[in-house]
Structure 1
Amino acid sequence: MILNKYIIMTTPYYLLDESKLRQNLQLIQDTAERAGVEFILAFKAFSLWRTFPIFREYIKHTTASSPFEACLGFKEFGAACHTFSPAYEEKTFEEILEYSSHVTFNSLTQFERFYSRSKDRVSCGVRINPEYSEIDTELYNPCAPGSRFGVLAEQLPKVLPEGIEGFHCHCHCESDSYALEHSLQHIEEKFGSWLKYIKWLNLGGGHLLTRKDYNIDHLVSILRDFKERFPNLQLILEPGSAFAWQTGTLVAQVIDIVENHQIKTAILNVSFTCHMPDCLEMPYWPNIQGAKTLIGEEAKGNETEERVYRLGGNSCLSGDYMGYWHFEKPLNVGDEIIFEDMIHYTTVKTNMFNGIAHPAIIIKHVNGQREVLREYTYEDYKHRMD
C-alpha cells in the first residue's frame, strides 16, 4: 500500500529509509570490488524480503541458518544460499540441499553423517573455531571456552576428509577491521596448514563496515594481503547489521506517564521485550530523537529531574522498561518517541508476547513516498497459536 508522503501513519511502526539503505549497499559493493571478495546478506539480521529487489542490484547471494531462511533466500532472493546450522536434522536436510549452494557443518560428525547426500550437490565446508574473539558480551561470543560452535584445530586430522572444500569462521560482533586483522592472524596460525587445500573461507559476520568510523582502506588492505598469501581461496564475508546500519527507526507513542518515588516512566505503545529484544539481552540503551541517553554515572542523581524518564513497554513483564533519558522538553501523553537504528536484528527478532500489537513495517522510498510493507492484526497473533 502506497501512502501519500504527507499522511501521518498511526504508530507504532518501523520506518526503513531506502536512500540510507542504498548508501550502505553501495559502500559494501564498492568495498567488495576493491578487496576482491564477496559480501553476502545474513538473514539473521535482516530478512525484509520485499526489499530484496533493491539488494539484488548490489549483491548476489545470502546466508541462511535454517530451512526457512534457506527457502526464503532461494525463493524470494532468487539464489541458492550459503547455509550453516549448529546441527542439521534428517527430516529437513533435503530442503537444505535444495535451497543451498554451500553447506557448512558445525562438526566433523555432522559432515560424516550427511556428506554422502551432499556430494556433487553443494560445496561442503566445516566451521572452525580459532578460540579467539574480541567480543566483550558473552552472549554474542561464539569463540568463548566451551562454545558449541566450530571444530578446534586440534580436532582436525592432518589431511582433511574428502569433500571438505571450505572453512567457515565467525568471531565478530559489530567489530572493526583491526579485530578482523587479529582474527585472521589466529586463523592462519592455527589453521594455516589446511588453508592451501580448500577453495573458500567464509569469515562470517559482525563486520560493521558501514559505521562512520570504520577503516575501509585497512579492511581492503588486510583482505588483499591475505588473498596474496592464499590465492586459492575465495573470501566471503556475511555481515548482517552492516547492510541495514542506521537505515531506519521505530516510531512509538507515549500512552501514559506514571510516577513512583519521583521516578517517572513514560509507558509506550511498543515493548522492549517484544519489539526491541536486543536492548534487554545485551543490554544497550538505544538513541532516541530529542533525548540524551543517561547511562551509569550519568543517571545517578538525575533520575528524578523534570525531563528525565524511564521508558516502559506495554507488556506485563516487570523488566520491560529501560532508562534513563533526558528529553528536550517534558513528555506528554500522545508524544512520539522515535528510536534510532531499529531495523537490523530488531525486525527479525520481534515476537507477539502478551498479544502486544506488532508495529507495521514501512519503507520510505527515494522519491519520498511511503509504502506499507506489512501491517499486523489479531489474525496474525491468533494463527501463531494454531
Structure 2
Amino acid sequence: MLTEAQLNQIPSPCYVMEAAKLAHNLSIFERVQNEAPVEVMLALKGFALFHSFPLMRSVLAGASASSLWEAQLAAEEFGKEVHVYAPAYRAQDLPAIVPLATHITFNSLTQYERFAPLLAQGQAKAGLRINPEYSPVQTALYNPCVPGSRLGVRAKQLGEKLPPGITGFLSHNLCESDSFALEKTLSQIEQLFGPWLEQIHWLNLGGGHLMTRQDYQVDHAIQVLQAFNQRHPHLRLILEPGSAIVWETGFLVSTVEDLIPTPDFTHVMLDVSFTAHMPDCLEMPYQPRIRGSHLPQTGDLCYRLGGSSCLAGDFLGDYAFAQPLQIGDRLIFEDMMHYTLVKTTMFNGVPHPAIGLWQIDNTFKLWREFTYQDYRSRMG
C-alpha cells in the first residue's frame, strides 16, 4: 500500500505498473512452463506496454499479434517468437508480416488459399483458427463461439486432409476463465477436430486462461495439459494470455476535480474518463475496485463517479468511502493494466493519463507523458 508521500510522486492521471506484482505473476507462468509441456506468449491485444517487455522477456516465449503494427512492435521490442493471427489480412499488410512472424494463423480457408504463396517467401509456420463451438463466456461481445460467429473454421468445413502447408491450429474461446474451461476446451477440440490432430505439429490454445487469479487452480491446469500431452505427445502446446500476465499488476491514479451533490448521491467529477481510459468498464460492463472504497450501506454517503468527457454515460456508480471525499483527493482504480492502455482514446481531447512504473525499490519511474501534439498528430 502506497503512502501519501509515495503517491505524491505520481502525476494525475497516470497508469502505474507495479514491478513486484508483475514479477509475482511471471513466477506463476514460469512454474506452469516448467511443469507442463506448454509455452506462454504475451498477447499484445491485451497489453502492449513495451517499456515493460524487458521485465517479461526472460520468462515468456514471445508475443502474439493481431495486426501488422502489433507484429512490428513484437519483433522490435520483444525480440523472440512472433505469432500473428488476424480475422482478415489485408493484401498490402501480409508481405510485411511474413518476414516478422514465426507463426501466421488464418481465420478461413479462403484467406489461407489466397495468401499461401506469400508464405513461401518466409519461414513462418502456417495455421488455421478453429471454432471449438464451446465457450463459457456469458457476454456476447466477448464470446467468439456465439452462433454464426465469423471467427474460426468449423470442423465440418475441413476435408479429410488439411490444406498443404498447414502445420497448426489456434483455438481462442475463453475470457478470464478457469482450468475446468481449459479442460472442456481440450475435450471439445479432441471431439470435433480429433481426425486432424495427427496432421498438425502445434496447437495454440489462445488466451483467457486466468492463471494469476487467486482462485485459479494452477495444479489442475498443469494436470490437464500433461494429460493432453500424453495423448498427443507430438503437439507443441502454446498459450497466449493477455490479461492474466498483468492481472492486478497496476492501477490508475485519478484526482477529484469537483463534487456535485444531489438528493440521492454526490457526483464525483474526475480527471479520467471511463469511455476514453477504462472502456471495458462500460462494455463488459463491470465496476472496478477503488482503493479504500466499499459498496454503499444504509446511512453511507453515496458517490457516483463521473468521467471527464461530455458523454452522458461516462460515469460509474455507486461507491462509499470511510471519509467524505474532498476536491483534490486521489482515487486509485485497481487492476488497470489489461485492456486499458491498448483501448484508450483521446475522445473530447481529454488528457491521456501518463504511464509509469512503481519500482521494487519503492520509487516511481515515469515512462511517458502525453501532450497536445500527441492529440493533434492523430488528426494529420
1:52 aligned residue: 53
2:108 aligned residue: 107
* 1:55-94 correspondence to structure 2 within 5 Å: 55-94=56-95
Between the aligned partners of 1:363 and 1:246, the Cα distance in structure 2 is: 14
Q: Residues 179 and 217 of structure 2 are in contact (CA less than 8 Å); yes or no, is this contact kept in structure 1?
A: yes
Match of 2:129 among 127, 130, 144: 127
Residue 80 (structure 1) shift:
4.0
User: Which SS does the other structure have where 2:156 is aligned?
Assistant: helix
Match of 2:261 among 259, 262, 269: 259
* 1:206-355 correspondence to structure 2 within 5 Å: 206-293=208-295, 306-355=300-349
User: Which SS does the other structure have where 1:231 is aligned?
Assistant: coil
List, as ranges, runs of 4+ consecutive aligned residues in structure 1 with deviation greater than 6 Å: none
Between the aligned partners of 1:137 and 1:153, the Cα distance in structure 2 is: 24
Q: Residues 46 and 342 of structure 2 are in contact (CA less than 8 Å); yes or no, is this contact kept in structure 1?
A: yes
* 1:130-149 correspondence to structure 2 within 5 Å: 130-149=132-151
Q: Residues 126 and 151 of structure 1 are in contact (CA less than 8 Å); yes or no, is this contact kept in structure 2?
A: yes
Deviation by residue 1:108-141 (Cα, 9 ceiling, x = unmatched): 0000001111136210000000111000111100
Between the aligned partners of 1:184 and 1:41, the Cα distance in structure 2 is: 21
Residue 207 (structure 1) shift:
0.3
Q: Residues 101 and 122 of structure 1 are in contact (CA less than 8 Å); yes or no, is this contact kept in structure 2?
A: yes
Between the aligned partners of 1:6 and 1:355, the Cα distance in structure 2 is: 26
Q: Residues 169 and 203 of structure 2 are in contact (CA less than 8 Å); yes or no, is this contact kept in structure 1?
A: yes
Between the aligned partners of 1:182 and 1:88, the Cα distance in structure 2 is: 30
TM-score (norm. length: structure 2): 0.96
Note if 1:29 corresponds to 2:23.
Answer: no
Deviation by residue 1:274-298 (Cα, 9 ceiling, x = unmatched): 110000001000001111146xxx8
Residue 5 (structure 1) shift:
5.9
Between the aligned partners of 1:16 and 1:50, the Cα distance in structure 2 is: 10
Q: Residues 265 and 301 of structure 2 are in contact (CA less than 8 Å); yes or no, is this contact kept in structure 1?
A: no
Between the aligned partners of 1:191 and 1:262, the Cα distance in structure 2 is: 56
Note if 1:375 corresponds to 2:377.
Answer: no
Residue 36 (structure 1) shift:
1.5
Residue 215 (structure 1) shift:
0.4
Between the aligned partners of 1:130 and 1:306, the Cα distance in structure 2 is: 48
Task: Please tell me the residue identity of whatever aligns with 2:328.
Answer: G
Q: Residues 142 and 171 of structure 1 are in contact (CA less than 8 Å); yes or no, is this contact kept in structure 2?
A: yes
User: Which SS does the other structure have where 2:46 is aligned?
Assistant: coil
Deviation by residue 1:85-118 (Cα, 9 ceiling, x = unmatched): 0001111111110210000000000000011111
Between the aligned partners of 2:369 and 2:313, the Cα distance in structure 1 is: 27
User: For structure 2, which runs of at least 5 residues remain unmatched after alignment?
Assistant: none
Deviation by residue 1:27-52 (Cα, 9 ceiling, x = unmatched): 10111110011010000111111111
Q: Residues 307 and 329 of structure 1 are in contact (CA less than 8 Å); yes or no, is this contact kept in structure 2?
A: no
CA RMSD in angstroms, aligned pairs only: 1.4
User: Which SS does the other structure have where 2:341 is aligned?
Assistant: helix
Deviation by residue 1:241-286 (Cα, 9 ceiling, x = unmatched): 1110010110101100113343311010000001100000010000
Closer, same or farther: CA 75–217 of 1 in aligned 2, 3 Å:
same
Deviation by residue 1:191-225 (Cα, 9 ceiling, x = unmatched): 01100110000000000000111101100000010
Between the aligned partners of 1:154 and 1:189, the Cα distance in structure 2 is: 12
Between the aligned partners of 2:256 and 2:236, the Cα distance in structure 1 is: 50
Between the aligned partners of 2:194 and 2:277, the Cα distance in structure 1 is: 43
User: Which SS does the other structure have where 2:245 is aligned?
Assistant: helix
Task: Please tell me the residue identity of whatever aligns with 2:9.
Answer: I
Note if 1:361 corresponds to 2:355.
Answer: yes
Task: Please tell me the residue identity of whatever aligns with 2:137.
Answer: I
Task: Please tell me the residue identity of whatever aligns with 1:379.
Answer: Q
Task: Please tell me the residue identity of whatever aligns with 2:351.
Answer: A
Residue 79 (structure 1) shift:
2.5
Between the aligned partners of 2:77 and 2:246, the Cα distance in structure 1 is: 18
Aligned sequence identity (%): 49
Q: Residues 285 and 293 of structure 1 are in contact (CA less than 8 Å); yes or no, is this contact kept in structure 2?
A: no
1:195 aligned residue: 197
